[in-house]
Structure formats: structure tokens, C-alpha cells
Amino acid sequence: MGETELASEEESHPLSGDAKAIREQVLEGIQARGWWYNIEYPTLSPEVTGIIPVPNDALSVMSADIRFRVAQRGRKLWDQNNSTDVFTSPIKVRMIRKVELDDIPLTAFDYVLEETVRRFLSGLDADNAKIAGAEGRAKAAYSHMHAEHIRAFAANAADSNPTIQRIRSLRGWVARGVR
């Protein structure tokens, strides 16, 4: 915007509050999708009252067992099968956690930075060339982050597509790494 960069986040600037708010929205919004670095499978146990509290940094909680359905209601779990919030035994869940900006991987940090800049410039009266440049950088950063996610999960469409797996099994082929 033609101004010098701030030396630290503590420096005062009329637009720094807006930029921080956008950064928090981007950070939480992208992490809510679930990535290789913020998905966990803990077992949560009920308290004496039978209620299972959800950790404060949890963005999403669902059962790891597809036969048993739970939902997050407020800061506790809800048993959708039995319509109650009282549990009698621990439950293994798939939890997406919010990871602080300083602790996320570099590719995710880069995306948060570039997407924050893109949204910030789009909200101002920036020129079209700056906005287009920011959009390009944000898309490239997302691509790099998504590629790292795929590598971390060793995703392979041929291994996950049911039709391809069925054809392979008919011909005696096996999925990668499975015998």
C-alpha cells in the first residue's frame, strides 16, 4: 500500500487490527477442513457425570467409528444414536484441532500469510494488479500446502477408488503396499 512494513505486531497502525482479524479468520477457516498436521484420533473419556467435554482447541469432533455417531454441541459431545449427552464408556474420535500460527508447518503458514494479504487487499481500494498478484500467490501457496497434505497421507486415487480396486482384484492386482 506504499507504506513501510511494521517492525512488530505490537507497533500501532490504524489497519493492523483489521489485518489480525483477517489472519485469524483464515487460520481457523483453513484448519477447520482438517490437514495432516491437525487431525488426531484420541480417546475421550466421560467425566463422573457421564458428559464428555470437548477440548477448547477442537474445531471439529466426530466418532472414529462410523457405526457410532456423535456430534459436538457446545463444549461437549452428543450421542446421536441414543439422543443424550451422557456416555458410559470412552469413545475414540476424529478430532480437528486449531494449531497456533507459530506451530503450523511452513507451507500452511505461507498460505495463511498469502490468503490474509489477498483478503486484506480485496477489502481495501487496492488496484487490480495488486489484487491479481495476491490471488496468484495465494493459489500457489494453497497448491503447495495441499501437495504436502497429499504426500503426508500417501494419497493415491487408484488405491481409494472402489471401481479401480474392484478391477484390480479381478485381475489379481493389489493396492500399493497391500498384499
Identify which of 134, 42, 137, 20 has the alpha carbon closest to the alpha carbon of residue 94: 42
What is the model's pLDDT at position 115?
95
User: b vs e for 92-131, b when ≥16 Cβ sit within 10 Å of the residue's Cβ?
Assistant: ebebbbbbeeeebbebbbbbbbbbbbbbbbeeeebeeeee
What CA–CA distance (Å, rounded) separates 20 from 120?
A: 10
Cell readout for 37 is 498436521
Is the per-residue pLDDT at 164 higher than 50?
A: yes
Alpha-carbon gap, residue 153 to 148, rounded angstroms? 9
Domain boundaries, the chain: 16-34+101-160, 39-97
The mean-pLDDT minimum among 24-28, 55-59, 159-163 falls in 159-163
pLDDT tier at 155, thresholds 50, 70, 90 = low
- Would you state the cell numbers that stand for residue 141, as one nine-digit string? 501457496
Residue (of 116, 109, 114, 113) closest to 148 by Cα position? 109
pLDDT, tens digit (0-9, with 9 covering 90-100), for 67-105: 889 999 999 999 999 999 999 999 999 999 999 999 999
Tell me phi and psi for residue 97, to 5 degrees: -105, 150
Average pLDDT rounded to a whole number, residues 119-132 = 82
pLDDT band at 179 (very low <50, low <70, confident <90, very high): very low
Residue 54 or 177, more confident: 54
Q: Please determine, for residue 151, whether its predicted confidence score (pLDDT) is greater than 80.
A: yes
Residue 176 clears pLDDT 80, i.e. is over it: no
The answer to whether the CB of 153 falls within 8 A of the CB of 146 is no
